[in-house]
A and B are shown apart, each in its own frame.
Chain A
Amino acid sequence: MKTNRKALAALSIFAAGSLALTACGGGSGDSGSSSSSQGGTDSSAAATSAIITTNGTEPQNPLIPTNTTEVGGGKIIDLVFAGLVAFDAKGEPQLDAAESIEPNADNTVWTIKLKAGQKFSDGSAVTSDSFIDAWNYGANIANAQGSSSFFENIKGYSADAKKPVEKLSGLKKVSDTEFTVDLSQPETNFKLRLGYSAFVPLPKAAYGSDGKITKAFGEAPIGNGPYKLASDTAWTHNEGIKLVKSDSYDGIRKAQNGGITITFYTSQDSAYAAVQSKNGTLDILDQVPPASFATYESDFADSNVNQPAAIFQSFTIPQYLDHFKSDTEEGQLRRQAISLSIDRATITDKIFSNTRTPAKDFTSPVLSGWDTWGKNLAGNEVLNFDVTKAKELWAQADAISKYDGDFTIAYNSDGGHKEWVDAVTGMISQNLGIKAEGKAYPAFKGLLDDEKNNKMTGAFRSGWQADYPAIDNFLTPLYSKTGGSNYGRYDSAAFAEGMKAAAAAKTPELAQAEYDKVQQTLLKDLPAIPLWYSNVQSVWDPALKNVQIGWNSVPLYYAITK
């Protein structure tokens, strides 16, 4: 009797399980058909109220604009806030909250006028103070904001933790809708920099009685952008966040849909599986995972895009490696030989299924005018594939000083770099006849530590995703002596002078000429070996309309309708 009861219990659990299974299957089928019928019959009526679902990752920090340095949080900040400048699909800057942004003659004082009558979603007004207070907060070292270095060119900025600066002397309020910014160094591209998410305004409600941004604000920020959080608890950690259209925003990015629901996926592969079901679970996926590179174009025949992104990829050979110093002839020869031994076109085709574009310079094709200045730089032959010349140069270098050690490229194995590292080291090894292989670090932090402490024993993967579409954003952090990410420890007087001249140039054309010279220096010294530019591949439910991907690889969500 006892045993029978147990058996019965087991049976009923199984029955319940299978019921749940069928119920769940039926449920998802239903929702699929209802969403498609909605799209089919009353698409015009649904255009402004439909919720668009997309993928994302859990923000690493509370949603404070000046402390958000990664894409997961950046995507949400960009939707909830509106800065002075927004970028259109082509990467051209358009005025968003600003009425005008004008520099003085030598690009050191910028006057900013705001559009009148702008409001945050809590009803409070957007004024000069909303910007000035937020920037002061972000720049103050005592607040430990991740983006504080973005303010370093504004007068009064201090990176000294013992002397925190509460108010930047370079920020001056003229009226409620006008303020000026004094810079320490001339900067031609300051207007583009203002498009970065650290430069958005914050409402009074953000600050607590102690003047610090409150925890509650970080959980449920109040912005002036096209969307607002659906409720104070709209952000469910590790699951997703629900945004709805904000009626207080009336700028160039006005939402054409009812809201955006961002779901955080554990992996891009699972997100791809979700978007493939085409039932509303996931309407648009901003980046196809590598496992689906070969198939996404057939899976989403009429609803995919593959376009260049503002991501430059390379590997850096540090200057402290013997035999590889850029300021010696031997080092330059070896760097050039290695670059010439890599068949970038074949790798981007075979390994990346043409989701990368072989590099021609140190920036990215998304920058405006790149086709005229970036594509055909003098000296970029060193990025071509030429085995004979590679062998020749390597032999010349060996004649100066024999080197028979290994060549390694270090990478973090949690970032999906193994395939291209294998392919690149394979080519170096087979074409130069040396032993070359990848060196995997299990976690990014271990790699970063060795890079920071000059402990690399070979080359390491490097790259840059631009914060705002300007050429200096690709060059200064990576190759200037004081650049925050110059782990190759490159130090070149020619580079420094060129960058200085470009920043102070009177016209954009003159600035560009200086930048070209800087890039030619880089092509000669090869502090990093350029590999390719990343493309962005997005796929979406064919029921969506008006899908465009911005310069920063993020879809222009506000324009999408369903």
Chain B
Amino acid sequence: MLWYIGRRLLQLIPVFFGATLLIYLMVFAMPGDPIAALFGDRQPSPEIIAQLRAQYNLDKPVIVQYLIWIGGLFRGDFGTTYSGQPVSAVMAQAFPITARLAVLALLFEGVAGIAIGLVAGLRKGKIFDNTALVVSLLLISVPTFVTGFVLQYLFGIKWGIISTTVSGAAPWGELIVPAIVLASVSFANILRLTRASVAENMGADFVRTATAKGLKRGRVIRVHILRNSLIPVVTYLGTDLGALMVGAIVTEGIFNIHGVGGTVYQAVIKGEGPTVVAFVAVMVIIFMLANLLVDLLYAVLDPRIRYAK
């Protein structure tokens, strides 16, 4: 097991370099001069732009820029934004907020999605199942910004239960509604996944055996049906973490959350290579660790899966 984990951690290295290099090339490939764009409609003299480009190493070939960035990384320097802030300061601000938002969203979609999906799967074809399916379908087909605007309007403006926008520090409480908005589509997906697996496993031999053995229904559901149904769900949750981090652009915009999604999006639009690549680097690591955890959970959930040396 330890051997397996060690090997997986080693695999992080190629993905890390692959993703960061690819992203650097991508940002570089986009047309336009990020420095000139900083000044908007009011362009300074070309000499000033040239000087700033040199200051941010933009006058060097892309691979050299990448190596300079990697070199800085080993000294603990993530680079600077084109407004002169250290990228590490931007990250220290955005990541904790996004982490809180993502944890709340994962919690919501995981707990509610699995619970409702389980009940729906157990009662396939009944009224609860059909209602759950219709609701999940609606959530999938309505864009996030609509869900966001509606909840903001109802809870924030009409009923005044929550503050309409999240304050700078983004405490847990203010992030609950945004997290629900953010998780709504994934919640629907998890609900459907759980329901499908549960319904399938209800007919499985081991369930029939367990029931025949005279096990209580609660135990059959918990130990045999649910546990075996969780594999695709856990996989989805693992992959969803990445989507939750950067996919929150719309939600962050509506509720004024200064998280990773909005920061990366702005940096992409502005062509701010060091910021984008630093954020992506951290996300790659988080994402890979989450996936490792998912793979380890496979073995816990399904004893038939064993990780050999």
The short answer to whether A and B are in direct contact, CB under 8 Å, is: yes
Chain A contact residues, CB within 8 Å of chain B: 3, 10, 13-14, 17, 20-21, 23-25, 28-29, 59-62, 69-70, 141, 144-149, 159-161, 215, 218, 236-240, 263-267, 269-271, 273-274, 276-277, 281, 414, 442-450, 452, 463-465, 467, 477, 484-485
Q: Is the CB of B164 within 8 A of A273?
A: yes
| Interchain CB contact under 8 A, B254 and A161 | no
Residues of B close to A263: CB separation below 8 A: 168
**B41 to chain A: which residues have CB within 8 Å?**
463-465, 485
**Cα of A148 to Cα of B52 in the assembled complex, Å:** 14
Which residues in window 45-103 of B have CB below 8 A to A? 45, 47-48, 50-52, 55, 82-85, 89-90, 93-94
CA distance A445 to B43 in the complex (A): 12
Bound complex: CA of A54 vs CA of B268, how far in Å? 28
How many whole Å from A489's CB to the nearest CB in chain B?
14
- Residues 15 to 63 of chain B near chain A (Cβ within 8 Å): 30-34, 36-45, 47-48, 50-52, 55
Knowing A21-B176, A60-B83, A273-B157, say if A236 contacts B253 (CB, 8 Å).
no
The stretch of B118-126, B200-208, B255-263 in contact with A is B255-263
Instruction: Report the separation of the CA atoms of residues A41 and B184 in the bound assembly, to the nearest whole angstrom.
Output: 45
Complex alpha-carbon distance, A470 and B279, angstroms: 44
- Asked if B258 contacts A266 (CB within 8 A), the reply is yes
Are B168 and A277 in contact, CB atoms less than 8 angstroms apart?
A: no
User: Is B252 among interface residues, defined by CB-CB distance under 8 A?
Assistant: yes
Closest B-chain residue to A160, C-beta based?
Answer: B47
Which residue on A lies nearest to B161, using beta carbons? Answer: A25
B180 → A minimal CB distance (Å): 11
Q: How many residues of B contact A (CB 8 A)?
A: 62
Name which residue of chain A comes closest to B94, CB basis: A238
Q: Cβ of B174 < 8 Å from any Cβ of A?
A: yes
Given the interface pairs A24-B174, A61-B84, the reply to whether A267 lies near B36 with Cβ below 8 Å is no
> How far apart are A52's CB and chain B's nearest CB, in angstroms?
17
B275 within 8 A of A: no
Closest Cβ of chain B to A3, distance in Å, is 7
Could you say which residues of chain A place their CB within 8 Å of the CB of B48? 141, 144-146, 148
Judge if B6 is at the interface, Cβ distance under 8 Å: no
When the two chains form their complex, are residues B39 and A146 in contact, meaning their CB atoms are under 8 A apart? yes
* Distance A273 CA – B174 CA, assembled complex (angstroms): 15
Beyond the given A144-B51, A144-B52, A449-B36, could you list 8 further A-B residue pairs with CB under 8 A, ordered by the A residue number? A24-B171, A29-B160, A144-B48, A146-B38, A215-B84, A281-B164, A445-B33, A446-B31
CA distance A193 to B152 in the complex (A): 44
Q: Is the CB of A161 within 8 A of B174?
A: no
Give Cα A237–Cα B34 distance, bound, in whole angstroms: 21
Is B292 at the interface (CB under 8 A from chain A)?
Answer: no
How many Å lie between the Cα of A127 and that of B218 in the bound state? Answer: 84
Cα–Cα, bound, A464→B254 (Å): 29
**Chain B neighbourhood of A271, CB < 8 A:** 165, 256
- A442 and B269 contacting across the interface, CB-CB below 8 Å: yes
Minimum Cβ distance to chain A for residue B219 (Å) = 10
Q: How far is the CA of A239 from the CA of B256 in the complex (A)?
A: 10
Q: In the complex, are the beta carbons of A273 and B42 less than 8 A apart? A: no
Q: Which residues of A contact B39 (CB under 8 A)?
A: 69-70, 146
Instruction: Tell me the smallest distance from the CB of B230 to a CB of chain A, in Å.
Output: 13
A274 & B176 in contact (Cβ 8 Å cutoff): no
Closest to A159 in B: B45
Chain B CB within 10 A, most for which of A263, A273, A452 = A273
Contact of A21 among B43, B173, B256 (CB under 8 A): B173
B51 surroundings in chain A (CB, below 8 A): 141, 144, 161
A467: nearest chain-B partner, CB-CB = B42
